[in-house]
């Protein structure tokens, strides 16, 4: 089922002379709950994002790029090159956000090749010590806990007690630090400081900057929210857009800093969002059905901007691509060969041919989405068809379930004619339904044994809370 032959083909046939000839610096920016439509360049009539629009204009931008419907699953797939269920990540809480310790991560591969690696912001792949990013390939760690600042759930998933978006307490290389300022500003500032040190030491770096914004609770800086308070349906949407406005400003400052350092030409910048919008659909959703937490396009279609000046000519790509392609693409662009062990894990394709050329061969493929998130302690089989789908370049097969395996109905959409997924054509294309549904059945049989966290035993107390109490002397 893994397209390893394609990976080999991609490595052997890449003809661009600059490919693999250097180790570019890599900046990967990932926002949380911003959707494809939450960008003025994509048609949003209210939100203004001039700096992200400019980045898009200067990048190879993918128009049919997809991620998972929620946060931790997407992050797991990006960092391993395989579907999140194969990493044991079937939820965002209840120990089911913990990425299996058997997985080989992209920062581990990059570190072995001589990169310095740093993460700033959101991790969300396990808060217990063995699952932390310093054990998964990151040299520098500056993160909050759980899926969001201030969040706390029974078990292992939780942030420092009573944390907030303003002046948050951040775990910096296993030591809690009280910061000053708004969370997004804090993450960009710390990332910039670390990057400056790597440049001074002439060290190639992989900088992973994962904002918690614009995830709920929707709390923007007052001056940012004020820009939209009289233009949106609710205060929540105004704050949601204000948080994105702040991200946009930080991205603009960061890109300008790359120029000032003299490294913009040698730095690959990738910008993505982690799932469909969580609030922006109330204003604009780029004509898509669904949002975060659904298997429709509105839950998975994402931005993917790749900028590498003097190496990539900006252009638009319509090929069907997704998060599992990120890992092998980065490896090819940096000239790092995949070891047999990594090849066995990675099921994505390198997108390098699509980055180097405006027209490149890209065979059709089948990609499965599953929201997961079944109740804790319930058998996954009971929710096998709950919010799942199978994609090809043309077709989208989506289950319309009733939460049990005997009462589901497959809907089929022809995306070339109906990108808004309004017209179910399953009855007129039974052969397509049969082919894609059979693929899903095979896929489920493959991933089911790899769901390693379904019966995980939680710790007695949240590890961030325990560590915070030990270091800070308080925290209930």
Domains in the chain (CATH in brackets) are: 23-356 (3.40.720.10), 367-450 (3.30.1120.10)
Asked if residue 69 lies in contact with residue 369, where contact means CB atoms within 8 angstroms, the answer is yes
174 DSSP 8-state letter? T
Q: What angle do CA 303, 117, 247 make, to 5 degrees?
A: 35
Residue 11's pLDDT is 36
| Structure confidence at residue 475 as a pLDDT band (50, 70, 90) | low
The enclosing H or E element of 140 equals strand 140-144
Is the pLDDT confidence value at 340 over 50? yes
**pLDDT for 403:** 60
β pairing state of 388-391 and 395-401: antiparallel
pLDDT tens per residue across span 365-413: 999 999 999 999 999 999 999 999 999 999 999 998 766 666 689 999 9
Strand partners, 140: 118
Q: Note the pLDDT tens digit of each residue in 6-29.
A: 433 333 333 333 344 479 999 999
Residue pLDDT, tens place only, 34-57: 999 999 999 999 999 999 999 999
E strands of 215-344, at which residues? Answer: 267-273, 301-302, 304-307, 315-317, 321-322
Per the prediction, the chain carries an average pLDDT of 94
Q: Collapse the DSSP code of 234 into the 3-class scheme (helix H, G, I; strand E, B; otherwise coil) and give the result.
A: coil
- CA distance linking residue 301 with residue 164, whole number of Å: 30
Inform me whether the pLDDT recorded for 157 exceeds 60: yes
pLDDT at residue number 7 = 39
User: Average pLDDT in the 345-352 region?
Assistant: 98
Q: Is the pLDDT of residue 136 over 50?
A: yes
What does the DSSP 8-state code read for residue 313? Answer: -
pLDDT band at 304 (very low <50, low <70, confident <90, very high): very high
Q: What percent of the chain has pLDDT over 90?
A: 91
Q: Other CB atoms closer than 10 Å to residue 19's CB: what's the count? A: 18
H/E segment holding residue 31: strand 25-31
- Residue 338 CA, chain-centre distance (Å), reads 22
Higher pLDDT, 2 or 448: 448
Q: Which of 252, 18, 292, 258 is nearest to 147 (CA)?
A: 292
The yes-or-no verdict on residue 164 having pLDDT over 90 is: yes
pLDDT digits (tens, 9 = 90+) for 307-325: 999 899 999 999 999 999 9
Instruction: List C-alpha distances in Å: 272 to 63, 75, 451.
Output: 12, 11, 26
Please state, for a pLDDT cut of 70, what percent of the chain lies above it. Answer: 94
Reading across the β-sheet that carries 408-414, which strands appear in turn?
Answer: 367-370, 388-391, 395-401, 408-414
SS3 content of the chain, % helix, strand, coil (to 5): 35, 15, 50
């Amino acid at each position: 089922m893994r397209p390893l032959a394609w990976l080999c083909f991609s490595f052997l046939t890449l003809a661009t002379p600059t490919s693999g000839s250097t180790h570019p610096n890599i900046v990967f920016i990932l926002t949380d709950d911003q959707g494809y439509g939450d960008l003025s360049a994509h048609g949003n009539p209210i939100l203004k994002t001039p700096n992200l629009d400019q980045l898009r204009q200067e990048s190879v931008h993918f128009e049919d790029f997809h991620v998972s419907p929620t946060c931790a699953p997407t992050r797991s797939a990006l960092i391993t090159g395989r579907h999140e269920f194969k990493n044991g990540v079937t939820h965002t809480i209840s120990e089911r956000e913990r990425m299996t310790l058997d997985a080989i991560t992209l920062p581990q591969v990059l570190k072995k090749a001589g990169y310095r690696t740093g993460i700033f912001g959101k991790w969300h792949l396990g808060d217990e010590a063995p699952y932390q990013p310093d054990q998964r390939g990151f040299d520098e760690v500056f993160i909050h806990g759980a899926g969001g600042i201030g969040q706390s759930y029974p078990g292992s998933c939780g942030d420092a007690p009573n944390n907030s978006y303003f002046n948050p307490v951040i775990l910096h290389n296993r030591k809690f630090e009280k910061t000053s300022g708004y969370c997004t500003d804090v993450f960009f500032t710390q990332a910039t400081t670390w990057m400056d040190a790597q440049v001074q030491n002439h060290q190639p770096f992989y900088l992973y900057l994962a904002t918690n914004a614009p995830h709920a609770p929707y709390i923007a800086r007052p001056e940012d929210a004020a820009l939209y308070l009289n233009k949106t349906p609710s205060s929540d949407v105004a704050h949601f857009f204000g948080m994105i406005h702040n991200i946009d400003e930080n991205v603009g400052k960061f890109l300008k800093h790359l120029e000032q350092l003299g490294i913009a030409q040698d730095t690959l910048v990738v910008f993505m969002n982690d799932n469909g919008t969580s609030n922006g659909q109330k204003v604009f959703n780029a004509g898509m059905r669904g949002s975060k937490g659904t298997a429709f396009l509105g839950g998975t279609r994402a931005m993917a901007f790749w900028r590498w000046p003097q190496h990539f000519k900006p252009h638009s790509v319509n090929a069907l691509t997704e998060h599992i392609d990120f890992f092998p693409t980065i490896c090819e662009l940096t000239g790092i060969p995949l070891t047999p062990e990594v090849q066995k894990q990675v099921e994505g394709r390198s997108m390098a041919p699509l980055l180097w050329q405006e027209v490149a061969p890209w065979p059709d493929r089948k990609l499965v989405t599953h929201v997961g998130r079944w109740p804790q302690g319930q058998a996954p089989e009971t929710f096998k068809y709950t919010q799942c789908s199978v994609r090809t370049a043309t077709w989208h097969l989506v289950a319309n379930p009733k939460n049990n395996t005997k009462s589901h109905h497959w809907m089929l959409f022809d995306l070339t004619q109906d990108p808004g997924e309004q017209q179910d054509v399953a009855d007129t294309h039974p052969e397509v339904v049969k082919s894609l549904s059979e693929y899903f059945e095979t896929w489920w049989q493959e991933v089911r044994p790899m769901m390693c966290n379904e019966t995980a035993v939680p710790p007695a107390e949240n590890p961030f809370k325990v560590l915070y109490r030990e270091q800070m002397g308080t925290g209930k």
